[in-house]
Chain A
Amino acid sequence: MIPGHQKGQNLRILVLAGGISHERDISLKSGRRVADALTDAGATVIIREPDENLFNHIAEDAPDVIWPTLHGASGEDGALRDILGLTSVPFVGAAADGARLAWDKSIAKIIAARTGLQTPASVTLPKDTFRELDAESVLAQVAKHMSFPVVVKPARSGSAQGVTIVEDATHLSRAMIDAYVYCDVAIIEKFVAGTELAVTVINQGGGLLALPAVEIEATGGRFGYDERVTAGEVNYFVPARLDQQILDRAGKIAVQIHEELCLRHISRVDLIVDENGVAWFLEVNVAPGLTETSLAPQAILATGATLSDVYLGIAEAARLGRG
């Protein structure tokens, strides 16, 4: 424990990390970073995998609060959060309903659009659609009505896994296949060129706060899975190198979608700002990565706060039922 960081000394926190999703590796790293920061804040932290002993562990560990840092389906599709809701232990982050809505990018886009936000035009296609309607004719229709490039991505997945930027119609079917290995529903979305931003929203009990937007500049032009987890592959700018007016707007969008989906203590909204300064909503994450190269910790540190203080504030808010 760092001297002077005693604030969390009466708090017992169970961090859940791992799971069997495609993002297990990132989850384990996130969990350990969160645990380190909370331990530095003086809290007693236990890290566990969610498995068949989950309820026994919750009973034995007697945590004041649970922090699920599970990425991918095992932590973000709402199922685990429903189960945690059955216990009497408060937990950090979105409740099950909000997580479900956010986890499916196609649903989140609909909600974003209904709340007046701009989101790139897209079509959402379950795998079976191609079988029923003939893949060639469906793809021909898509190519006819959408201008390339497009982004093909699984509707329910994270960390850019299964995502392809498709430059022309000839590569569309391969991209669909690569998306469907992650999820039975895929989105074909108009590609918006511009500045990629990530805005983290937190609530430490005092209301929603949009943290400084992180600008992502992938040195190789792509912000895929490998780039996300490899130091040196991406340049991040906090604050982003955009007009303050645009950044304020990005912050408002992030808070708006966070509020609309009732995501409670923490979320991260991914946006693209085009050449006209329009911010386009892409997706929202209810369990943002919290590793050493993740976006949310960068935003926290840019405020001048420590991860320990902010994570402790979030955990306290969850414990007290605030946010």
Chain B
Amino acid sequence: MSNETPRGNNFDHWLDSYAARANTLSVSEVRALFAVVSRPEVVSLAGGMPYVAALPRELLEDSFDTMMTERGNFALQYGGGQGDLRLRDQIREIMELEGIHASVEDIVITTGSQQGLDLLGGLFLDAGDVVLAESPSYVGALGIFRHYEAHVEHLVTDENGLDPDDLEIQIKALKAEGRRIKFLYLVPNFGNPSGVTLSEERRHRIVEICRREHILILEDNPYGLLYFGEKPPVAMRSYEEDCVIYLGSFSKILAPGLRVGYVLAPPAIRDKLVLANESALLSPSTFTQMLISEYLAKSDWQGQINTFRGVYRERRDAALNAMAEYLPQLHTTRPDGGFYLWITLPEGIDSKAMLPLAVTELVAYTPGTAFYANGGGHQNLRVSFCYPTPENINLGIKRLATVIKRQTDLLETFGNH
């Protein structure tokens, strides 16, 4: 091995050794710009970080003390690949709130639902397979699908969520081309990044179509319990067990640092998920599973979710009020829960190209391009209202308005190129 001639030093002596799929991993200038969001001067409307300060520390401290006293030796030990039985039983109760009646046997605990998605990608996706997704779709899922070299086809999505008519059209067209569709991936409640909720009528139609066409639905539902008004419609998994794989998470209703999520899958798929989980991790963290289990057993966790709802509702209101005040001409979604607004910019403005200017003005957002696998989203951006205070949300959107104004002026100067 030589790092010199004839190739010079490229700082990666193993460049020829990587798997082809490693090419799906890349850094970007946008990612580098996000480094500034940790500075206090910058109002970050970019990351979807839950406001964990609204979680009283003593709740977890008490749970920790109990766990260490009563089950400390187990908490510090390896666990099973399917996850802690008591926690799975408690997760079953949480899912009841979404209308799902499940067996503890069919629940697999994962290191965040992100790992659940990754396991499912590894189990099902071959290079060239098709994943159907909303327009726009969750960036973390797109990254996993890309990593497994699947092609994502974005479907028409409006204020009522994914359009079943387009789903039918696209399935027909893709099948006519001989392409193999593996998943329909959805965040049906207060979607990331759109904030949109899939209507009940559409849920039923989508399930019916996917059942008929033999396509697995990945129902990714981290935000469903964070509603601000009426509860969203019940989960699709509540009326379809065989073609829906349901993913849940403690990241938004408790704390993301614990890295605990879960998958509810049909038994045959569950078996493979457990094996895949054991292969990848041996077991998810016993420590954090048991901590969460104690928390659920001891505390008013539903009351805490209600507290989170209040916090996020106030911030959603602050964001929408600021939009009305500073950017009334722009279209924004008006979510009834969750973390995000999806904003449409004036024609010609590219949210990704504008980001450096925003950073200069001390505000950060996520460009819409992050949420498309096909290069779309230039005219959109995602505003996260979950983490900044209402005052900072107002300040951030005020700054954003300045940025958009400057960029609009620039485009007008150059004839809107």
Chain A positions near chain B (C-beta within 8 angstroms)? 18, 20-26, 28, 49, 51, 127, 130-131, 135-136, 161-162, 173-174, 176-178, 180-182, 215, 217, 219, 225-226, 229-238, 292-293, 298
Contact = CB atoms under 8 A, between A and B. Distances in A.
Nearest to A28: B35
Contact of A229 (B27, B355, B360): B27
A236 B33 CA distance: 26
A217 B5 CA distance: 12
Contacts of A26: 32
Interface residues of B, number: 37
B10 A177 contact: no
A161 B353 CA distance: 11
B35 A24 contact: yes
Nearest to B34: A25
A20 B414 contact: no
A217 B8 contact: yes
Contacts of A23: 32
Interface stretch (B103-111, B144-152, B405-413): B405-413
11 contacts: A20-B41, A26-B32, A135-B415, A173-B417, A177-B411, A181-B353, A181-B357, A219-B10, A226-B27, A226-B28, A232-B11
Contact of A232 (B15, B39, B411): B15
Given A22-B356, A24-B36, A230-B26, A173 B415 contact: yes
B354 interface: yes
B12 A225 contact: no
A225 B11 contact: no
B370 interface: no
Nearest to B4: A237
Interface in B1-48: 5, 7-12, 15, 26-29, 31-33, 35-36, 39-42
B27 A298 contact: no
A259 to B, nearest CB: 29
Contacts of A182: 356-357, 360
Nearest to B359: A22
A127 B10 contact: no
B323 interface: no
B33 A237 contact: no
A217 B7 CA distance: 9
Contact of B29 (A127, A131, A161, A293): A161
A106 to B, nearest CB: 19
4 tightest A-B CB contacts, nearest first:
A235-B8, A232-B12, A25-B35, A231-B11
Contact of B27 (A24, A135, A230, A237): A230
A181 B353 CA distance: 8
Contacts of B417: 173-174, 177
Interface in B393-417: 407, 409-411, 413-415, 417
A115 B29 CA distance: 35
